[in-house]
Structure 1
Amino acid sequence: MKYILWLLLLVSAQLLAKPVNNSIAFYYSAPMPLAEMTFYSRVVVQPEFVTEHELNWFKERNIAVYAYLSIGESYKKSDYSLTTNPNWNSYISDLTSKQWQQQLNSSAVILKERGFSGLFLDTLDSYQLLDNERYDKLAQQAGLVSIIKDLSLVFKKQLVLNRGFELLPSLQNLATDLVAEGLFSHFNPLDNSYKFTTENDQAWLTAQLKKAQSLGFNVQVIDYAKPDKRLVMAEKIIASGFSAWVTDGHLQTWGTSTISPVPRRVLIPYNSDLKPLIYSTVHLKLATLIEYLGYIPDYIDIAKRELPLVDPSLHAGIVSWTNMGGFYSPSVINWLEASLGTVPQLVVGELPQSAKLLAALGVETLNSSPPGPYELNYLAPWLKGESSSSPAITKPYLLKLAPEATTLIDIKAADGSTVVQSAKTKYGAVIVAPWLIDTLPMEGSNWVIDPLTLLTKAMGLPTILAPDTTTESGRRMLTMHIDGDGFTSIAHFEGSPYAAEVIRDDIIKPYKLPITSSIIQADIEPGGIHAKHSKKLEKIARSIFELPYVEVASHTYSHPYFWTALSGRKEIDKEDTDYGFHLDVPGYDTISLEKEITGTINYINERLVPKGKKTVLMLWSGDATPGPDALKIARNAGVLNVNGGNTDVNGDNPSLSHISPIARPEGDLLYQIYAPILNENVYTNLWHGPFYGFKRLTETFEITEKPYRLKPYTIYYHFYSGEVPAGLDALKHNIDYVLQRPNTPVYLSHYAKIAKDFYFSALAKNSKGDWLFSSKKIRTLRIPSDFDIANISQSDGVLGVTQQGDYVHTIEGISRISFDHSQKDIAPYLASANVVIDTWQVNGPVSFKAWIPATLDLVNAHSCQFISHMGKSYKGITRGKLTHFKLPAGEFLGYLNCTGVAK
């Protein structure tokens, strides 16, 4: 009975945890702003702009997607065209035409089959533009009703009507919603202007909308305004009794309803014909810091698509970083010039040949060249980076300061004149090479300037709440995963066991931490490289995969070394390699992506895993640089993917330039998730020694924690770490180091889902200044130091905040974070825990997973206790505001009871 009651409370808590915005969002452009769309339960789009995988993405999040369908007009002239609509250069259709009716119905059936949830029916009033003397409008009305009846059958009444007021009584049971434009403002397509609606027209339209409501239609108003005016107008619409959407006249920028979007996307143009994204400096170096600040690097490959309309509701800025003069084509320059003043810009490295753009960002070309040598004259103190000395100045950019600009860096010429190298204005900033990253032989690279202040103080990106991929329940995440290399190596221990047996018995079993383990199929399969020992090797693999704390991954069939060649990004001559393109598998000469990915997943699932388990991850091998084809195959196989990246920073060179971003997009919602931190290979000289070198991983942990937590704890290694005592000792050293510090152990798949969702989470603000956060997988927001501490009592969908106020914990769906302290924060809340929380409600259901004995710290919880669904209670120890709880490892299902606190 207690368990049933707990389940009922759990369902009610989950329902309460997902507030829904009643407005329908409209967007008629591409690509879809998927992250921002998660604030809405219904969206209307142009169907040709949505891909199959985007429709699946919406379905996974229970977002209903309505396709735009024009009923009364077409942009193509045909036999059923009656006349033109000069406002939109379109043709008004004959609604009585059987051919037109059949075409609309066929279109609806196709849209239904594609996966759309409903239709938005536009141009319902177009027939009213027809000449009364030439056309029978009553017949047109009858044709319109007939069309809508047919469409209603196809989509089971899931239709949204655009006006059609005179026919509403006839359409009452055929559609659910009605939308009308222009209650307080309207758009004139002839001159692209916004006009206020007259009071008489407002009164007439309001009456029509109220009538529609009385007939049972949900009513929404679409009005038009510039971004900074939209929230006020939306509130005015809502005050009139209707849902609201305020956007631009073409519905091609992201709009506002009860909330205003917080733009997170930083547009980064690049040209894959000149250099693939995976090798570009802006991705390898700067993207890490863009993501840390909470922003999404939005890469635009100008070789494959047009530069987008810059939308200040979605886009926070533009970063243009290239070392190639050929990058700046006229189209790129025109786009950058046209975007001045819309969002802040940062131009880095090579400069475009645009006097207008450069002057706007603070520099102008000198008319004469001052003589060298040159030396640093000034570098803004707040911009100084990691490098202890100035880079070599051999061929500087010869620039002077533009009017109304501020110098950030300048150098002095031999004649005493100054030459500007970096400047800022209200439009953004410019900084030229070599004042970015200084690369020294044998010493790695260093930032000459501070990349974070470059983005914030110089460029002008605002401080925002940052969706976080490093922290769970207030503590730094711990992930562990093993590549299959060395599984069959004979270890230097008594009895000559396989290295896989040593890792199983000395690491995996004793620690019982969540770990992701993989195999290379050709290494252990019958008929493979070690065919004679396959039976025993497969048995060892099964014994690892059957452990309850091990999740299953593939490390490919033959361990390809050069995915960059397989993707066509770089040609590699087999003769120039030390070990060919892959392991020397008998009879396997040509790499098959299907065999490497799908084939090995099927092999593992059919032969190696116990009932109830399956392969969940693909761990890339070799250079770990898969292209789109490999990522598609992995997605089609239903697995996540991890590995690659270059986070190998250590104490010899503790530079932010050696820390990779979270992931790399490859189009069509494909992402390669990088390993947060690299494996023992880079610490042991490619396993040539010293074999204890992996102990230096703790240096990486410390550098990626302070001053900025950039990565979770990640212990990533190969089975060959079990070959020698020094390698095994290094593993234990690293695990013990983490366990002595606050951490939350999670599966690598858990991290991979969070990492990918970074690019699909969204922020918004309401009229009170509260922040709203929408995410399917991310549960943590990092609060910048210049923010106040969150008030949990005044927030919704928030579990708590750390004592330092730097991380706030949320639930799945939409959370509202308040920083209003007009009322005291006295309700119990979570400060931190070493568990992954599924459900959390004060005086309600709580469920979580604890891989090790659970420790939870709560604030304002001296009267609280955890009660399991079996009735066992756990009280805490209170010191000051903090109450510390200890619970057993495992799954906890139960309640958090706090006496004297309302639900």
Structure 2
Amino acid sequence: MKYILYFTLLISAHVFAKPINNSTAFYYSAPMPLAEMTFYSRVVVQPELITEHELNWLTQRNIAVYAYLSVGESFEKNTSSLVVNPNWNSHISDLTSTYWHKHIKNSANDLKERGFTGLFLDTLDSYQLLDTTSNKADQQAGLISIIEDLSSSFDKHLILNRGFELLPKLKGFATDLVAEGLYSHYSPLDNSYKLTAKSDQTWLIAQLNTAKNLGFNVQVIDYAKPKNRLAMAQKIIKNGYAPWITDGHLQTWGTSNITPIARRILIPYNSDIKPLIYTTVHLKLATMIEYLGYIPDYIDVAKRALPLIDPSLHAGVISWTTSDAFYTPAITNWLETNLGAVPLLVMGELPLSTTLLIKLGVEALNVLPPAPYELNYFAPWFKGEAATPPPIVKPYLLKLAPNATALINIKAADGKIVVQSAKTKYGAVVVAPWLIDTFPMEGSKWVIDPRTLLTKAMELPPILVPDTTTESGRRMLTLHIDGDGFSSIANFTGRPYSAEVIRDEIIKRYKLPLTSSIIQADIEATGLHSKASPKLERIARSIFDLPYVEIASHTYSHPYFWTALSGRKKIDEDDTDYGFHLDVPGYDTISLKKEITGSIKYIDEKLAPKNKKTVLMLWSGDATPGPKALELARDAGVLNINGGNTDANADNPSLSHISPIGRPERDLLYQIYAPILNENVFTNLWHGPYYGFKRLTETFEITEKPYRLKPYTIYYHFYSGEIPAGLDALKHNIDYVLARPNTPVHLSHFAKIAKDFYFSALAKNNDDEWLFSSKYIRTLRIPSDFDIPNIAQSEGISGVTQKGDYVHIINNIARLNFDHSQNNSKPYLASANVVIDNWQVNGAVSFKAWVPASLDLMNGRECQFTSHSGERFKGITHGKLTHFKIPMGDFYGYLNCAGTAP
């Protein structure tokens, strides 16, 4: 009975998690705004604009995808075409035509085969534009026949666009009806938005109410510019209809009863000039863009057209290049055309556009003022990490434009002022070398502050931040091992393998969630150590058998240069110290399938216990896989991690040495970077000092303050078990973290969260509440500009940290209320070292505790946890916090708080 009650409570806690949203979203552009679509249970798209991977992504999240299908018109003339519709220059079809019926049926079958859930049937009224000589009744009969046939194919999952005259005859063949133009209409002839006449509104409302009385779900699509959409949506809601307010071509993301928060920063680059992975904007600035909660949306102009800028999705544009060849006329014109739509930040080399530069605050000087030059002004809030300004040899010749504010300027020998950075209402400009200063043997530093560059110069507004560093209010801890050194003989008594030392001294000693990998050719019978293979494989199995270890592959032969395999850079094998991969007999040419798919199959069949499979691919060598490698990993059903360059230490504690979360490739593929690099970097490529990995704690501190940028990550190789100094360094790092608040998780848990950063979305509803959608992210960071949320008035959250900086999310969609006019005395979670699956005050609670559970509750003096077996756990209260200790393991039970409403 207890189990039945528990699961009843568990289900009830999640059934009502999703905010009510009756609208269907319409989007006729590409690529799909997948993250924003997760606020809707149904979306309508142009079928030719959605990719297979986008369609699968939405389907996997139970979002019904409807394909647009024009029933009454075609843009291509055919044997069924009758006349031209002058409004759209399209051809009105003969609905009695056998050819047209067959065409519609074939089109629908193709859409069903592709995986669409239903159809949005447009141009149902086009036959009414035919002249009086056409038989209207025959056209109507033909239309009804088409719709009946489509209804059978798609199990009534049809949305009708108008078709009011025929609704009584279509009852039962479609579920929904959409009508355009209740309060506004769009004119394609002059690209204008106009309000509809009062008489037309009255007529349409009568038709919509008739449709509702017939049992159709009714939605209104109206058209407006972004700033006018919310007011129009609210007006439609008051009349009892679900709204969707968008542009006349439905090519921008619309507003329903929620308004999207734009998070995407468009960043054009040219892969023919430099691949994304080597661009400075990705390597240096993307980290801060992501920290602020925004998504770098890279546009490879060598492979795709520049997109329509949509203020509903796009928060800004950043152009940072070091190449004179980057600014083609197309890019320059795109930037000019979109001035004022969203903030623009231009960095490094400048486009040859007087109009563009003046709008950003600078004008070109005609004559070079005489040297030497000295720094004259540097806005205090704009100064970065570099203690001194960069050498000023040949400055950009710029003066301040009207209505602009100088951020950096220099003075020439004749006293003339030369501007190097400025801002206006349109955005900002910063020229080289005032960005990153590179020092021989010392790395690099930011000359300007990357945070204020984005928040004050570019003026990105503060938003709630999907966080990839924190779980249940405490900094995440991940541990993972690359397979290198598994077969090395360790310098310990008995000459054990390094893998045995790591297993016994680290893995079994700490019993923390850990991801372990092997290199197939290093341990298999036909590999490098055939005689020792039986023992090496037994050691691998003994590690993979451990309940807290998850399994990963570190490839077949450990390729060193994935950048060459992807074609990004040519590397001469004669110039390397160790070739392209491990010297496996008979294996001369690298096969991606053997390295990825084959190694995963070997592990699953030969090494993994029956209850486990490989879950991760840990990239080897330079860890820069191309899209084909990432695709093979995805096809094998595994996540991927490694790469990146986060190696900041006390010698150079610079943000320029901290990598972003990951990098996109084609078809929704992402490489997720290792949060922090491994001991190889700290030990001079494992040449010593072998205790150097102890400096990892410096990186922990730099990535915690002033900004928590990364989780605690202890990433190492089996060769750390070769030498006592390496082993001691490893223990030092683990002990350091365990002495501080943390939440241990598997690396795969982090990988899911990290990738989902790029697929999470924010919005606001009509009550000015924030909405957050994510499949895996369970933490939102609250900027200092925000208040803390009212827990009692919010939904889908379990609590907030005592400092008010992190919110704990428990549902795929959460609603955050910041109105404190009502008292908030409800018990809530402040922090814990567990991963919470379900949380309900006076209801079901479940979580995973890899170590003894530690939970702190606010207002929790009267609370107690009761496990499914009946064991009770009471807390100890100190001030406002009540602290609970619960044994490690999977907890299923209840949180009972006397006198508190659920």
TM-score (norm 2): 1.00
The answer to whether 1:480 aligns with 2:507 is: no
Report the Cα distance in structure 1 between the residues aligned to 2:884 and 2:198, rounded to whole angstroms. 62
Check the 8 A contact 1:778/1:812 in 2, yes or no: no
- What does residue range 290-439 of structure 1 map to in structure 2 within 5 Å? 290-439=289-438
Distance 2:811 2:28 in 1: 28
Q: Which residue of 1 aligns with 2:258?
A: 259
User: What amino acid is aligned across from residue 23 of structure 2 in structure 1?
Assistant: S
Kept in 1: contact 2:556–2:595 (CA 8 A): yes
Whole-Å Cα distance in 2 between the matches of residues 383 and 93 of structure 1? 62
Matches within 5 A, 1:81-96: 81-96=81-96
Structure 1 residue identity aligned to 2:377: Y
Could you tell me whether the CA contact under 8 Å between 2:374 and 2:410 is conserved in 1?
Answer: yes
Greater shift, 524-533 or 14-23, is seen at 14-23
- Structure 1 segment 456-495 matched on structure 2, within 5 A: 456-495=455-494
CA distance in 2, matches of 1:189, 1:881: 61
Of residues 592-601 and 787-796 in structure 1, the stretch that sits farther from structure 2 once superposed is 787-796
Distance in 2, matches of 1:60 and 1:11, equals: 20
Q: For residue 408 of structure 2, what is the amino acid of its counterpart?
A: I
TM-superposed deviation, 1:18: 2.5
Q: Is the 8 A contact 1:17 1:811 kept in 2?
A: no
1:361-402 CA-partner distances (Å, limit 9, x unpaired)? 000001221111111110000000000001011111010000
1:819 deviates by 1.1
SS of the residue 1:326 aligns to: coil
SS in 1 for 2:385: coil
Matched to 2:87, the amino acid is N
- 1:557-636, aligned counterparts within 5 Å? 557-636=556-635
Deviation digits for residues 525-553 of structure 1 (CA, Å, limit 9, x no counterpart):
01100011100000000000000000000
Any idea what SS the aligned residue of 1:769 has?
A: coil
User: For 1:850 and 1:763, how far apart are their aligned partners in 2?
Assistant: 30
Q: What does residue 539 of structure 2 align with? A: 540
Contact 1:20 1:41 in 2 (8 A): no
Give the conservation status (yes or no) of the 8 Å contact 1:20–1:40: no
The letter for the 1-side match of 2:89 is N
Instruction: State the match for 1:114 in structure 2.
Output: 114
CA shift, 1:878, in A, is 1.2
Q: Which amino acid aligns with 1:783?
A: I
Give the distance between the partners of 1:424 and 1:253, measured in 2 at CA. Answer: 28
CA contact (8 A) 2:19 2:815 kept: no
Structure 2, gaps ≥5 residues long: none
The answer to whether structure 1 residue 832 and structure 2 residue 835 are counterparts is no
Q: Supply the distance in 2 between the matched residues of 1:472 and 1:359 (Cα, whole angstroms).
A: 46
329-338 or 98-107, larger mean C-alpha shift: 98-107
**Is 1:57–2:66 an aligned residue pair?**
no
- Indicate the residue corresponding to 2:10 in structure 1: 10
In the TM superposition, residue 482 of structure 1 has moved relative to its aligned partner by 0.2
Where 1:371 maps in the other structure, the secondary structure is coil
**AA in 2 matched with 1:323:** T
* Cross-structure match for 2:194: 195
Aligned residue in 2 for 1:526: 525
**Superposed counterparts of 1:630-669, under 5 Å:** 630-669=629-668
CA distance in 1, matches of 2:858, 2:171: 53
1:498 maps onto 2:497 in alignment: yes
Per the TM alignment, residue 810 of structure 1 is displaced from its structure 2 partner at its CA by 0.9
Written as runs of structure 1 = structure 2, the 5 A alignment for 1:738-757 is: 738-757=737-756
| Structure-2 separation of matches of 1:745 and 1:448 | 36
Provide the rounded CA distance (Å) in 1 between the counterparts of 2:612 and 2:867: 27
3-state SS, counterpart of residue 325 of structure 2 = helix
Cα distance between partner residues in 2 of 1:310 and 1:143: 41
Q: 1:674: which partner in 2?
A: 673
Q: How far, CA to CA, are the matches of 1:540 and 1:444 in structure 2?
A: 40
CA–CA distance in structure 1, aligned partners of residues 631 and 492 of structure 2:
42
2 CA distance for matches of 1:812 and 1:371?
63
Q: What SS does the corresponding residue of 1:372 show, helix, strand or coil? A: coil
Aligned residue runs from structure 1 range 17-56, under 5 A: 17-56=17-56
Q: Matches of residues 764-775 of structure 1 in structure 2 within 5 Å?
A: 764-775=763-774
Structure 2 distance, partners of 1:634, 1:15, is 34
Q: Which amino acid aligns with 2:737?
A: V
Q: Residues 165-184 of structure 1: matches in 2 within 5 Å?
A: 165-184=164-183
Mapping 1:709-788, distance limit 5 Å: 709-788=708-787
Task: Calculate the TM-score normalised by the size of structure 1.
Answer: 1.00
Q: Which is further off, 32-41 or 54-63? A: 54-63
Which runs of structure 2 are paired with 1:782-861 in the superposition (5 Å)?
782-861=781-860
CA contact (8 A) 1:159 1:175 kept: yes
Contact kept in structure 1, 2:555 and 2:620, CA below 8 Å: yes
User: Aligned partners of 1:243, 1:628: CA distance in 2, in Å?
Assistant: 41
Structure 2 Cα separation of the partners of residues 387 and 835 of structure 1: 40
State the alpha-carbon separation in 2 of the partners of residues 705 and 168 from structure 1.
62
- Work out whether residues 797 and 811 of structure 2, in 8 Å CA contact, stay in contact via their aligned partners in 1: no
Give the Cα separation in 2 of the matches to 1:363 and 1:139. 67
Partner Cα distance (1:777, 1:102) in 2? 44
Secondary structure at 1:531 match in 2: coil
User: In the alignment, residue 569 of structure 2 is paired with which amino acid?
Assistant: K
Residue 139 of structure 1: aligned partner: 138
> Given residue 139 of structure 1, which amino acid in structure 2 is its aligned partner?
D
* Contact 2:53–2:667 (Cα < 8 Å) also in 1: yes
- 1:19: how far off? 2.9
Mapped partners of 2:184, 2:874: distance in 1: 59
How many residues align? The count is 902
SS in 2 for 1:827: coil
Distance 1:215 1:612 in 2: 53
Q: Give, in whole Å, the separation in 1 of the partners of 2:694 and 2:472.
A: 27
Contact 1:3–1:870 (8 Å) recurs in 2: no
Q: Secondary structure at the match of 2:690?
A: coil
Q: What SS does the corresponding residue of 2:418 show, helix, strand or coil?
A: strand
- Aligned residue in 1 for 2:225: 226
C-alpha distance in structure 2 between counterparts of 1:767 and 1:610, whole Å: 52
Maintained 8 Å contact 1:163/1:179:
yes
| 2:687 counterpart residue number | 688
2:74 is equivalent to residue 74 of structure 1: yes
Tell me how far apart the structure 2 counterparts of residues 212 and 783 of structure 1 sit (CA, whole Å).
45
Q: Take 2:328 and 2:603, find their aligned partners in 1: how far apart are those partners?
A: 50
Q: Distance in 2 between matches of 1:177 and 1:843?
A: 39
- 1:201-280 equivalences in 2 (<5 Å): 201-280=200-279
Contact 1:400–1:419 (CA under 8 A) maintained in structure 2: yes
User: How many Å apart are 1:20 and its aligned residue?
Assistant: 4.2
The one-letter code sitting in structure 2 at the alignment partner of 1:512 is K
* Cα offset, 1:186, TM superposition: 0.6
Match of 1:161 in 2: 160
Cα deviation per residue 1:186-216 (whole Å; 9 max; x = unaligned)?
1011001001011110000000000000000
Do the aligned partners of 1:378 and 1:409 also contact (CA within 8 Å) in 2?
yes
Contact 2:771 2:814 in 1 (8 A): yes
Structure 1 residue matching 2:532: 3-state secondary structure: helix
Secondary structure of 2:757's match? helix
Counterpart Cα distance in 2 of 1:19 and 1:748: 31
Give the Cα separation in 2 of the matches to 1:159 and 1:9.
Answer: 35
In 2, Cα distance between the equivalents of 1:143 and 1:900?
65
Distance across 2 between alignment mates of 1:189 and 1:883:
63
Distance 2:561 2:740 in 1: 38
Q: 1:234-271: per-residue Cα shift (whole Å, max 9, x none)?
A: 01001001000000000000000001100000000000
User: Kindly, what percent of the aligned residue pairs are identical?
Assistant: 76
Amino acid at match of 1:676: P
- Structure 1 stretches lacking a partner, 5+ long: none
- Structure 1 distance, partners of 2:527, 2:290, is 43
Q: Distance in 2 between matches of 1:296 and 1:106?
A: 40
Give the root-mean-square deviation of aligned CA atoms: 0.6
